[in-house]
Amino acid sequence: MTGCIALGMLTVLGGISYVGAGPAGAARFSPDEQRIVAELPFGFSGRSCNTADSVPRESVASLDCGEDAGLSAPLEGQFTSFGDPDSMNRAFQEVLTSRGPDYVPSPCPGLAVSPATWHYDSAPGTVAGHIVCGTFKGAPDIEWTRDRELLLLHVHDGRDLGDLYQWWDRYGNAVHETFTR
């Protein structure tokens, strides 16, 4: 009988610890950060993210993430959500003016200017966001907005700007549509 009671207690205790554990990492992020995790581009996941130390003014939440899919993707990124389009657009403009001498803007491959607007193939007449390409401390760098989701996304590093832009063109947006000029 003692063995049955002990087994019953282990079962109850095991159930309590299981119920209290929740999904791995679920309590790690605030609800606003969890929304960003749900919108991360291919090559990034919540497993490789932490709350950002340095965040754009007026942002709701921001995550610093490392690439974790083992593919030819950017090595790091910062993904930030905003409560309104004006705040997001101000943060994007600040990127253009506040990076300092280590940032060298350049046209995104295949585009005549940077910054530029971009759109999804399925809606060529509708601006989906803004994009700027360049190098930061000698490494390729792309920053863009996804206006519908109120997200400012920034990826950095990789082999060269052409490869990074190719990744962005293929994976950088939630609906995974290809960018067309």
Each residue's pLDDT tens digit, 99-131: 889 999 999 998 888 899 998 888 889 999 999
pLDDT at 52 over 70: yes
pLDDT of residue 73: 67
pLDDT of residue 128: 95
pLDDT at 147 over 90: yes
Residue 130, token pair as written in the block = 């803004």
pLDDT of residue 82: 97
- Exposure pattern of 94-119 as b/e (b: 16+ CB <10 Å)? ebeeebeeebebebbbebeebbbebb
Average pLDDT of the chain? 80
- How would you write 50-78 as a 3-class SS string? EECCCCCCCEEEEEEEECCCCCCCCCEEE
Average pLDDT, integer, range 68-91: 87
| Domains observed in the chain | 29-171 (3.40.1000)
